[in-house]
Amino acid sequence: MIDFIPLEFYQYYYINTALVIVIFTMLHSWVLELDDYKNILYIKTIGYLLLILILLYIGLRPVSGRYFADMRTYSNTFEYYANGGDLKTDKDVFFQLITKFCAEIMTVNAYFLMCAVLYIVPMYRVSKAFFKEYWFYSFLMFLVSFSFWSYGVNGIRNGLATSMFLWAISFYEKKPLMIAFMILSMLFHKTLLLPILAFSLTFLHNKSKTYLIFWIAAIPLSIALGSFWESLFASLGFADDRLSGYLTNESAGRSGFRYDFLFYSSFPVIAGWFYIFKKDFQDKLYHHIFNTYLITNAFWILVIRANFSNRFAYLSWFLMGLIIIYPLLKEQFHKHQHIVIGQILVAYFSFTYLMFTIYYAR
């Protein structure tokens, strides 16, 4: 357990270490070509070092409900099972089974390390599977995403579920494995039914223009009709009683239309539009992923005023970094493409850094 770092500085060290790595990577892009041997050596070395360090840093953090929110709840459940408690069957039984099993054979610190492995390693796996020796850029995009920290230390079940989804699409060429891991993701958290259904829909219709129109239309529809969509989806009992509660519960107040988050959500939309429609990027898998994002993010836009709407947003946000960087690691689009990759890393991370250091620091 890493207990020599004051808890109040845990997130501070993460965000500023990420800043140093992003800036250093951008500087590399200015002086070396993407396929230069020195650059390949750098991204391989820093990539594996970063993978190990982030696993240990998140996985061995002390148990705290004050600084890591729901971590205390997970810890209490673990201790309940360690003391011989009966299996809880009221929600996400598969995750409860895993926790109960772990409580019988390991300590709570080992349990959270295992959760970190299951959360982070799939990000490495999908990056390595898609981009080979350039996997570091994709992996770094995952690690500097706005939601990465929150779902690694707080909304752990959600984070594990979306990582299982990422692992699933890494088996795109092996459909039985892909389906198995998608089912596994839903067993971790039932809300993954939405991206799974969206991804499945793209196999029936994979035209990005259709889904882009749907995404754009969701904005005025949400502004004009407001709570209508929240009541509609809640009445349908969408996948999870807890999410229905978030849609209709007024006790915590309404969050209002989050234009800042809509702006953030537009990053992969703009990237996908540019490479698909302007650069004619014809990659079937990329279209599947991009269209899945458009569908799930449009759903969030419709219920954007709901309490805890970030829980809906994360059902699309976990794909953001992958969508933005994917084309640049697959084809040559720009004369100085390595510089473009460095600039995109900085621009993408800037939102995360500013939100943590300015918005949430108030």
188 and 155 Cβ atoms separated by less than 8 Å = no
Q: Do both 306 and 209 map to the same domain?
A: yes
- What are the C-alpha distances in Å from 142 to residues 4, 82, 149, 159, 306? 27, 33, 10, 12, 26
Cβ atoms of 165 and 192 within 8 Å: the answer is yes
360 within domain boundaries: no
Joined tokens for residue 250: 């007024």
- DSSP tag of 106: S
Same domain, 198 and 158: no
| 106 and 70 fall within a common domain | yes
The tokens for 165 are 């989804």
Q: Can you spell out the DSSP letters for 221-246?
A: HHHHHTHHHHHHHHHTT-S-HHHHHH
Residue 333 gets which letter from DSSP? -
Residue 157: CB partners within 8 Å, gap ≥ 6? 92, 95, 188, 189
Number of other CB atoms surrounding residue 66 within 10 Å: 9
pLDDT confidence band for 310 (50 / 70 / 90): confident
Mean pLDDT of 294-319: 85
Task: Clarify whether residues 131 and 246 are in a common domain.
Answer: no
Final residue of a structural domain among 153, 172, 188: 188
Higher pLDDT: 311 or 234? It is: 311
Q: How far apart are CA 149 and CA 330, in angstroms?
A: 27
pLDDT tens digit string along 173-222?
999 999 999 999 999 998 899 999 999 999 999 999 999 999 999 999 88
Which run of H or E residues covers position 292? Answer: helix 284-302
Q: Residue 309 sits in which domain range?
A: 190-331
With respect to residue 97, please indicate whether it lies within any of the assigned structural domains: yes
Please name the residues in contact with 159: beta carbons below 8 A apart, sequence gap of 6 or more: 119, 151, 152
CA angle 40, 46, 51 (to 5 degrees): 120
Q: What pLDDT is stored for residue 214 in this prediction?
A: 95
pTM confidence score: 0.92
Distance CA 141, CA 354 (A): 16
Which of the residue ranges 114-128, 148-162, 245-259, 312-326 would you say has the lowest mean pLDDT? Answer: 245-259
CA distance 35 to 29: 11
Residues 177 and 207 in one domain: no
The span from the CA of 181 to the CA of 187, in Å, is 10
Q: Is residue 361 part of a domain?
A: no
Q: Does residue 166 sit in the same domain as residue 208?
A: no
How many domains are there within the chain? 2
175 and 197 inside one domain: no
99 and 151 fall within a common domain = yes
* Structural domain contains residue 218: yes
**126 and 21 in a common domain:** yes
d(CA 34, CA 323): 19
- 354 domain residue, yes or no: no
pLDDT over 70 percentage in the chain: 89
Q: Same domain, yes or no, for 62 and 94?
A: yes
∠ Cα 319 321 322 (to 5°): 65
Residue 202 lies in a domain: yes
pLDDT per residue over 225-278, tens digit each?
766 656 666 555 554 555 554 554 554 445 677 788 899 999 999 999 999 999
C-alpha to C-alpha distance for 102 and 113, rounded to whole angstroms: 11
Share above pLDDT 90 across residues of the chain, in percent, rounded to a whole number: 73
Neighbour count for residue 239 (Cβ, 10 Å)? 17
Domain boundary at 128, 158, 188, which? 188
Q: At residue 59, what are phi and psi to the nearest 5 degrees?
A: -70, -30
Within-domain flag for 167: yes
Q: What are the angstrom distances between the C-alpha of 46 and each of 22, 50, 123, 339?
A: 11, 6, 16, 18
Domain end, chosen from 170, 188, 206, is at: 188
Question: Are the CB atoms for 5 and 56 separated by under 8 Å?
Answer: no
- Same domain for 101 and 175: yes
DSSP-derived letter for residue 354 is H
Same domain, 106 and 206: no
Residue 359 lies in a domain: no
Taking 70 as the threshold, does the pLDDT of residue 284 lie above it?
Answer: yes
